[in-house]
Structure 1
Amino acid sequence: MKPSTQSLSRQRRRLLQLAAGLPIFSSIWEPLLTPAHAAVASNALSRVRPGDPDWPSESQWNALGKQVGDALIKVQSPLTACVNAPDSAACQQLFKELKNPYFLSDEVGLTQTLGWVDAWTSTPSVYAVAARNTTDVVAAINFARRNNLRLVVKGGGHSYQGNSNSPDSLLVWTRRMNSITVQDAFVGTGCQGHASPVRAVTVGAGALWAHVYDAVTTQAGGYVQGGGCLTVGVAGLIQSGGFGSFSKAYGLAAGSLLEAEIVTADGVVRIANACTNPDLFWALKGGGGGSLGVVTRLTLRVHELPETFGAVNMTIKAASAPAFRRLIGLMVDFYHRELMNPHRGEQIRFRRDNVLAISMVFQGLSRSEAQSVWQPFMDTLAAAPDDFKADFPPLTILALPARTLWAPAMLKKLPDLISTDDRPNAPVDNVFWSGNTGEAGQVLHGYESAWLPAALLQDDQRQTLADTLFAASRQWGVSLHLNKGLAGAPAEAIAASRDAATNPAVLDAFALLIAGMEGPPAYPGIPGHEPDTGAARRNAQAIGRAMDEVRKLVPNPGSYVGESNFFNANWQQAFWGSNYSRLLTVKDQYDPEGLFFVHHGVGSERWSADGFTKLV
């Protein structure tokens, strides 16, 4: 479907304003408003934009600047350099830098994902407070509330939903709040006498997981449950629930949250833990980032470090579609029999070209122990050489001392697995998995996820599950993220995750099924660097058809808020299930006027799609 003339006009106006370095007055969200919403919006409370009579004057912005010092930034997108000179050396260098996630996280005007075709485009705020401390955050929130501004919060900037950016807004940017302190005996505020001291790590909201893992594991010999992607921000992941490679052993990352400091909409600094503001504490554990306030500091439980971490990789090509259907069945049976336990995590992928790709991890096992588990599956494949061909070597198993997994010096010896921040004078611990390079600066075409209940692995259901995975793979490749479903996890991990706001469907799921596609860094209106909208729409349709096959088996699946479909109409139920009504109650208590808005966040149904106009 071609965009309307009106839509094209908006795009041209947005691009011209970007080129001039001016605030973007027209919202990219307007095409998503229904006529009914537009009619209601015309008579409803609206936040102010640049050019409106109530937009803060220069003297008011200067006053905020005096409060926060050099933390107040007038934001200009680096993409401005490419608007009129797309072939320039500066533009070419910028698009190279867009593949460096550390460059993206350190740039106030950019986000890790540059957009989602037909959904949103990364657009900078007018001003940002690059907060250095909680006092700066308080000043920004009070200024936004008093002046009726659209407020945005960004830490690592990894939101697929576009929630780390909004035009015509004030941004609270927490990236500079990145301190990391390991504590041997932490007791939460108000919990003295009610809780035993535990080992913990206290982290600033802007810290990235690569640096937290290095501090906790490499330097302190402990383990903290965080994200698999090393450049994800700590605060955003915890508030989304959070999964890492070893969540099958340790549960949701949010399940390890002991305490948070948060600034709420009234500008009050609050402590949230099991003893102080316990309702807010519960909501922060998976209720979604940016909906309840600005988290400034988190304290997380440090677990005992296992002796080993390891990885298993294998790629198998089936000779035909019927052989691939059989291969999927063999894999599902083997997973149920041997792999659904706390030792293992990560992915099994089913591709359209009849390829099964295994990229799994393990913890607490030796290499020989891991090999012995996989050997029966390898023997089954070897018994059918005409049907199945494995890459050489057919099975790669790596095991290493757990304390070295995130050590930058060790990782840099693995250039096939690790990339580094190649900017001059970049910190030596700025490393990231090469497998995540495709996500840096990406433009999403489509993305969907669904939790698959463990009941599908019962004897009378496994073949139906395998047939569904095969049918989905005829439309688009799908992957099972086995660490993102907690069935098979230890009881204590289940209990900690149950006491979180994330959809309870995760507790009984054996995996999160994901289907998605992205394109390289691109931006509308920059010649030679524009998104391929035609391919994006075709890919999105194919992803939708694959998920239609999945929904035949699981009609109303839960979905992980951090990795989900932008257009999910049933998002309240999908993201939070039976927890949503309780989350809305907490929202009403701490943010009754809706200062904090994110797309498909708690209470967002009360606002227009851009978060500027109150509907109810």
Structure 2
Amino acid sequence: MRRVRPADPDWPSSTEWTSLKEKIGGRLLDVSSPLNVCRISPRDTACKNALAQIKNPYFLGDEPALTQSSGWVDAWTSTPSVYAVAAEQANDVAEAVRFARDHRLRLVVKGGGHSYQGTSNAPDSLLIWTRRMRGIRLYDAFVPLDCEGDMPPQPAATVGAGEIWMHVYDVVTTQGGRYVQGGGCATVGVAGLVQSGGFGSFSKKFGTAASSLLQAEIVTADGIERIVNARTDPDLFWAIKGGGGGSFGVVTSLTLKTHPLPDYVGVVSATIKAASPEAFRRLIDRFLAFCADSLLNEHWGETVSMRPDGTLRISMLFQGLDREEATRLWQPFFDSVSGAGDSLRIAEPAQILAIPARHLWDPAFIMKNAPHAMKADTRPGAPKGNVFWSGDESDAGRFTYGYESVWLPASLLDPSARASLTDALFQTSSQWNVTLHFNKGLAGAPDEALKAARDTAMNPDVLNAFALAIISGEGPPAFAGMPGEPVDVPAARRAATRIHDAAQSLRIVAPRAGSYVSESSYFQQDWPRAYWGEHYPMLSDVKRKYDPDGLFFVHQGVGSQEWDRDGFVRLST
């Protein structure tokens, strides 16, 4: 099978496109990048306005022609589809799926558009754009369809596929006083995060986003709108809980379990500078020992970075503790640093802060009390709730040079193995920044969270990992149409090589460790095992059952090895 392109004689006629447009209430868009004007008139006001918003994730998300990442060197470049269905209801999606199937079109699905691997865009394609599928509804006692008697009623939130986490948190937490497990980056799309597994700052307590899924509505390759849960189409329901977005169908709505909100959430931040490589190695070992004793539990998430200049950067979040409890826990570590003499220096003094959890995603509270922590959507008339964390601005429009991730087993924190892990992190950090994301490994989580995560399609390695190590590098936005040559390709390739090489020390101490599908290398080796481990054969069976012709294709997604690199020519069946 070969999919058709606009230059092919089998490409749908204008009459056929008009017919589709009529069936979906006029919601078929002829896609054009807002940066196209820059090719012709780079000094034009429209070009300047677009360039001024290129680091605004809300602007990027509201443009069907753009994506949250602009590309990856030697891998992909953000490219608009030919047409987009701006879906507002499930029937719009079903009509688009049937049209793509009948006309052999390359189909792309985009909600938040945050795919580092470029899976939410493709040239010569039809885009199903779910951004307009909004709506958030809270339940005190939700029971999935046909599950009466099997499942007790429980608090939940039903969310449209086009929603982003910032708006969901505002409704569920700020207004509703509950917690829903979503993403740390507040502008990530809900549907994509859940389908990839999904980590948030407090996953050590509440598990993954996928493990909170109670029910979903999805359109499969046959154009049928389905409600899936543990009773109805349970195999498909399991597959979309971490099996990867865009591979099994188009999710149009999700219902997620909500949790009691902790009293407090807080942050611990500090930067420690070592005077010599030997002192830095000792600092890494000291921190790992502290982690094993005090952080491997449900309270802690987010990151600690180790850098080539011998600095350790702490940026940890906590929940379920107050400021005094967090301070007592960290004091022995900071005392040991202060007592190390000239070999260690606290470059940025430790700050330990806590706030009522209900205010964590409250824009008015954060803007008043920590105005530098958040940024606002600066477009004229933008809703006040359109805010994002300042630390995520670097992700908007990023052009990736390299990206590697490895789940680190908790067994490496045992005294017998810790020296090897210390050496590996020391070697890696001497070549490139390495960041440990403690909330992206579930070792230390409570039994309930582990049990729920075990019933998802994610690689079981996540259950035994204390952290996900990420080594990455990127440059500024490089969308087509931007003035000049935004990418220094030789420099980007050199960086990619260094990033890849830096990760090898970690792969020596964790040779069979998996990788998180949404945060990994475009060139991931042995990706079925790395992303899904022992679950991949079952995911393949689900793919063949619900999408036997491979209508849904994403790079390194389930079944993608049957197609060529861009998903247009089928290589095997």
Normalising by the smaller structure, the TM-score range is: over 0.9
Q: Secondary structure at the match of 1:81?
A: helix
In the alignment, which residue of structure 1 is the partner of 2:356? 401
Q: Does 1:452 align with 2:408?
A: yes
CA shift at 1:474, angstroms? Answer: 1.1
In 1, Cα distance between equivalents of 2:100 and 2:4: 10
In the alignment, which residue of structure 1 is the partner of 2:530? 574
Q: Does 1:535 align with 2:507?
A: no
Q: Tell whether the 8 Å contact from 1:367 to 1:398 is kept in structure 2 after alignment.
A: yes
Q: Tell whether the 8 Å contact from 1:95 to 1:521 is kept in structure 2 after alignment.
A: no
In the alignment, which residue of structure 2 is the partner of 1:159? 115
Structure 1 segment 326-475 matched on structure 2, within 5 A: 326-392=282-348, 394-413=349-368, 414-475=370-431
In the alignment, which residue of structure 2 is the partner of 1:29? none
Q: Tell whether the 8 Å contact from 1:523 to 1:529 is kept in structure 2 after alignment.
A: no
Q: Secondary structure at the match of 2:443?
A: coil
CA shift at 1:372, angstroms? Answer: 0.3
Encode CA deviations 1:479-526: one digit per residue, 9 max, x unaligned.
100000000000000000000000000000000000001111113574
Q: 1:232 aligns with which of 188, 195, 212?
A: 188
In the alignment, which residue of structure 2 is the partner of 1:324? 280
Structure 1 segment 119-518 matched on structure 2, within 5 A: 119-392=75-348, 394-413=349-368, 414-518=370-474
In 2, Cα distance between equivalents of 1:543 and 1:86: 34
Encode CA deviations 1:130-164: one digit per residue, 9 max, x unaligned.
00000100110010001110100000000001000
In 2, Cα distance between equivalents of 1:578 and 1:383: 47
In 2, Cα distance between equivalents of 1:609 and 1:577: 22
Q: Secondary structure at the match of 1:69?
A: coil
In the alignment, which residue of structure 2 is the partner of 1:118? 74
Q: 2:61 aligns with which of 89, 100, 105?
A: 105
In 1, Cα distance between equivalents of 2:281 and 2:412: 17
Q: Secondary structure at the match of 1:534?
A: helix
Encode CA deviations 1:423-454: one digit per residue, 9 max, x unaligned.
11101111100000000011011111000001
Q: Choose 61-70 or 598-607, whichever is displaced more.
A: 61-70
Q: Does 1:592 align with 2:548?
A: yes
Letter in 1 for 2:467: A
Q: Tell whether the 8 Å contact from 1:125 to 1:170 is kept in structure 2 after alignment.
A: yes
CA shift at 1:65, angstroms? Answer: 0.6
In 2, Cα distance between equivalents of 1:165 and 1:522: 15
Residue 164 to residue 350, structure 1, CA distance change in 2 (3 Å): same
In 1, Cα distance between equivalents of 2:332 and 2:69: 41
Structure 1 segment 88-103 matched on structure 2, within 5 A: 88-103=44-59
Q: Tell whether the 8 Å contact from 1:416 to 1:434 is kept in structure 2 after alignment.
A: yes
In the alignment, which residue of structure 2 is the partner of 1:28? none
Q: Tell whether the 8 Å contact from 2:35 to 2:480 is kept in structure 1 after alignment.
A: no
In 2, Cα distance between equivalents of 1:302 and 1:67: 36
In 1, Cα distance between equivalents of 2:519 and 2:128: 23
The count of residues paired between Structure 1 and Structure 2 equals: 571
CA shift at 1:527, angstroms? Answer: 4.0
In 1, Cα distance between equivalents of 2:481 and 2:351: 45
Q: Tell whether the 8 Å contact from 1:76 to 1:124 is kept in structure 2 after alignment.
A: yes
Q: Secondary structure at the match of 1:416?
A: coil
Which structure 2 segments of 5+ residues have no match? none
Q: Does 1:72 align with 2:28?
A: yes
Encode CA deviations 1:525-563: one digit per residue, 9 max, x unaligned.
744242121221111111111111111111232000010
Q: Tell whether the 8 Å contact from 2:35 to 2:481 is kept in structure 1 after alignment.
A: no
CA shift at 1:322, angstroms? Answer: 0.9
In 1, Cα distance between equivalents of 2:513 and 2:117: 19
Q: Tell whether the 8 Å contact from 2:268 to 2:351 is kept in structure 1 after alignment.
A: yes
Structure 1 segment 541-552 matched on structure 2, within 5 A: 541-552=497-508
CA shift at 1:221, angstroms? Answer: 0.5
In the alignment, which residue of structure 1 is the partner of 2:14? 58
Q: TM-score, normalised by structure 2?
A: 0.98
Q: Secondary structure at the match of 1:267?
A: coil
In 1, Cα distance between equivalents of 2:259 and 2:444: 19
Q: TM-score, normalised by structure 1?
A: 0.92
Aligned-residue CA RMSD (Å)? 1.0
In 1, Cα distance between equivalents of 2:175 and 2:347: 37
Letter in 2 for 1:157: G
Letter in 2 for 1:269: E
Letter in 1 for 2:515: S
Which structure 1 segments of 5+ residues have no match? 1-44
In 2, Cα distance between equivalents of 1:352 and 1:329: 16
Q: Secondary structure at the match of 1:461?
A: helix
In the alignment, which residue of structure 2 is the partner of 1:26? none
CA shift at 1:85, angstroms? Answer: 3.0
Q: 2:509 aligns with which of 550, 553, 568?
A: 553
Letter in 2 for 1:202: T
In 1, Cα distance between equivalents of 2:104 and 2:28: 18
Q: Secondary structure at the match of 1:518?
A: strand
Letter in 1 for 2:198: G
Letter in 2 for 1:59: T
CA shift at 1:116, angstroms? Answer: 0.5
Among the aligned pairs, what percent are the same residue?
A: 58
Letter in 1 for 2:315: S
In 2, Cα distance between equivalents of 1:422 and 1:527: 22
Q: Tell whether the 8 Å contact from 1:524 to 1:530 is kept in structure 2 after alignment.
A: no
Q: Tell whether the 8 Å contact from 2:178 to 2:258 is kept in structure 1 after alignment.
A: yes
Q: Tell whether the 8 Å contact from 1:86 to 1:528 is kept in structure 2 after alignment.
A: no
In 2, Cα distance between equivalents of 1:366 and 1:526: 47
Q: Secondary structure at the match of 2:533?
A: helix
In 2, Cα distance between equivalents of 1:174 and 1:89: 29
